[in-house]
């Protein structure tokens, strides 16, 4: 039976393996390496212009969804991480809180043209969940599902970025239900549809599998500073 020390050692080793595998790919992503990003304003936290091209800053936080909100309580919420992994995870809300918590301030860029700046998120890094699940060598992507039937895909080099969160708080308060509470994913370096509300499952895959909007004409890669909104 695996002891606590053995488990922590395995997690650290898994983290190093993941970083070794994807560090160069992550550094090569457009939000990290683009020499001519499209946008305006002073540099943001990643050296990109503050506002991606075609975006307008707003203090409001519009609500966009599939037309229904599942109303999942903290008591009922669970997150499963499965697929091409060595250790499947099945987490309750309390399990999520028991993992290392981080706070990240980031911006939120909606493909419909608005951006809300400096949101203070709290939650668990997607990297921290994935390292515990230990993606197999062939793993290359994730497909993220919500309780509302939504899905969206990410390559692992995007999912492992240090600001991608499975978040349960925003601006010091529990994440509101209309914005994906009790728990959602946040992907600040991509358009916000890549972060599923009401997250319920992360499937780790050995090949890409487009999600709902990607199957319906939206960009598979979704880089705001390249105006990468729709399939071309």
Cis check for the bond before 182: say yes or no (omega within 30 of 0): yes
Residue-wise pLDDT tens digits, 172-188: 999 999 999 999 999 99
**Domain assignments of the chain as residue spans, ordered by start:** 4-226
Residues 203/143, Cβ–Cβ less than 8 Å? yes
pLDDT tens across 201-212, in order?
999 999 999 999
Strand pairing partners for 170? 121, 173
Query: What letters, b where the CB count within 10 A reaches 16 and e where it falls short, cover 138-155?
Result: ebbbbbbbbbbebbbbbb
Nearest partner of 89 among 11, 171, 174, 191, judged by Cα: 11
CATH number listed for the domain at residues 4-226: 3.90.420.10
pLDDT at 2: 67
| Percent of the chain whose pLDDT exceeds 90 | 84
The pLDDT value given to residue 174:
98
């Amino acid at each position: 039976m695996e002891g606590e020390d053995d488990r922590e050692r395995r997690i650290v080793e898994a983290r190093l393996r993941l970083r070794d595998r994807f560090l160069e790919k992550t550094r090569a992503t457009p939000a990290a390496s683009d020499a001519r990003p499209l946008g305006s304003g002073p540099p943001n936290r990643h050296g990109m212009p503050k506002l991606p091209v075609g975006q307008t800053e707003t203090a409001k936080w519009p609500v966009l969804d599939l037309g229904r909100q599942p109303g999942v309580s903290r008591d009922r919420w669970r997150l499963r991480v499965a697929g091409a992994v060595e250790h499947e995870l099945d987490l309750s809300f309390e399990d999520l809180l028991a993992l290392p918590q981080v706070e990240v301030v980031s911006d939120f860029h909606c493909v419909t043209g608005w951006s809300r700046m400096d949101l203070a998120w709290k939650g668990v890094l997607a990297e921290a969940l994935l390292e515990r699940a230990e993606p197999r060598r062939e793993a290359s992507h994730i497909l993220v599902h919500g309780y509302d039937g939504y899905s969206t895909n990410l390559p692992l080099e995007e999912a492992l970025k240090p600001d991608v969160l499975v978040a349960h708080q925003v601006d010091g308060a529990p994440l509101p239900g209309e914005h994906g509470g009790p728990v959602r994913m946040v992907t600040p370096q991509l358009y916000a549809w890549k972060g599923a509300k009401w997250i319920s499952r992360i499937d780790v895959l050995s090949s890409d599998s487009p999600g709902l909007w990607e199957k319906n004409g939206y960009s598979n890669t979704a880089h705001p500073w390249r105006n990468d909104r729709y399939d071309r």
